[in-house]
Amino acid sequence: MAAATIVHDTSEAVELCPPYGLYLKPITKMTISVALPQLKQPGKSISNWEVMERLKGMVHSHQFSTLRISKSTMDFIRFEGEVENKSLVKSFLACLDGKTIKLSGFSDILKVRAAEFKIDFPTRHDWDSFFRDAKDMNETLPGERPDTIHLEGLPCKWFALKESGSEKPSEEVLVKVFEKFGEIRNVDIPMLDPYREEMTGRNFHTFSFGGHLNFEAYVQYREYVGFIQAMSALRGMKLMYKGEDGKAVACNIKVSFDSTKHLSDASIKKRQLERQKLQELEQQREEQKRREKEAEERQRAEERCRRRDTE
């Protein structure tokens, strides 16, 4: 997940959990493709930077909040642009789509295509068909039906308990934030479980670009309506944090429905048993270390006694 970016205009943000400074802000991205001419002269090249500057100039008095190259080939350059507000997207597209760029030193004109960014987010059809066709799911059981949301890229700091001095996310805060959509049956933050890495072979302490520590979480709703409302609210949204000083930052998060039975009773029980085994193993290792240390100390004491006796 990309690092959080500064939000100058928060007018389109909607409340998620104001006591924790959390809001949802519409994703305002667009994809811009610039078709490149065949380069006839050897050694001559097109400057990506110059093309980017021309695009910035085409939107007149407006400004992109971010503009970056997402792909560059011999035939085209693809950019990802972001603007401050959803209302600006249409006017940006009108300034760019179907227009042309003329670069200095080139006779060919470059065609520009621009469209709203296609958001990768599951639809109701996706989860309905998945759970309908999955042979090993029992829709009468929690965790084996569409009731659990899997979230990735949540910033730890934003979900830490206030006044705790810790930057670790809290399950208590996670519940407070997401119970807005319906009663929560269960939550899980894998990185809080010291045994989980050993149990799954995965590393949950992942840094994003910019050094912000993010985490993944599972949120399970008691009723289907809570799951539906949460998915509808999160679709096409970024997570925004507004500090007490009024300054706001936002980041992209990945939202999907859980298809792994992560919070089914059987999976929870299995993890508890595995954790218990690992705890027992850890205790045995500690006990072994303690015995070895005691044996070493006894040996040293005996050696000291022998030395004293021979003196």
Q: Tell me if 112 sits within 8 A of 34, measured CB to CB.
A: yes
Q: Tell me if 145 sits within 8 A of 263, measured CB to CB.
A: no
Q: Tell me if 254 sits within 8 A of 151, measured CB to CB.
A: yes
For residue 42, the model assigns a pLDDT of: 66
For residue 209, the model assigns a pLDDT of: 38
Q: Tell me if 249 sits within 8 A of 240, measured CB to CB.
A: yes
Tell me whether domains 28-116 and 124-263 share a fold.
Answer: yes
Which residues face 24 on adjacent strands? 14, 239
Q: Tell me if 139 sits within 8 A of 130, measured CB to CB.
A: no
For residue 180, the model assigns a pLDDT of: 95
Residue 59: both structure tokens together: 């939107």
CATH class of 28-116: alpha beta
Determine the Cα–Cα distance for residues 61 and 69; give it in Å rounded to an integer: 22
What Å distances lie between residue 1 and 4, 76, 155, 193, 218, CA to CA? 9, 26, 10, 22, 17
For residue 208, the model assigns a pLDDT of: 42
Alpha-helical segments (H) within 35-148: 48-58, 86-96, 124-133
For residue 212, the model assigns a pLDDT of: 44
For residue 5, the model assigns a pLDDT of: 85
Residue 41: both structure tokens together: 């002269």
Q: Where are the chain's structural domains? A: 28-116, 124-263
Q: Tell me if 63 sits within 8 A of 56, measured CB to CB.
A: yes
What Å distances lie between residue 125 and 121, 122, 136, 237, CA to CA? 11, 8, 19, 20
CATH class of 124-263: alpha beta
Determine the Cα–Cα distance for residues 137 and 139; give it in Å rounded to an integer: 6
Regions in the chain scoring below 50 on pLDDT: 1, 207-212
For residue 263, the model assigns a pLDDT of: 95
For residue 14, the model assigns a pLDDT of: 95
Q: Tell me if 220 sits within 8 A of 263, measured CB to CB.
A: yes
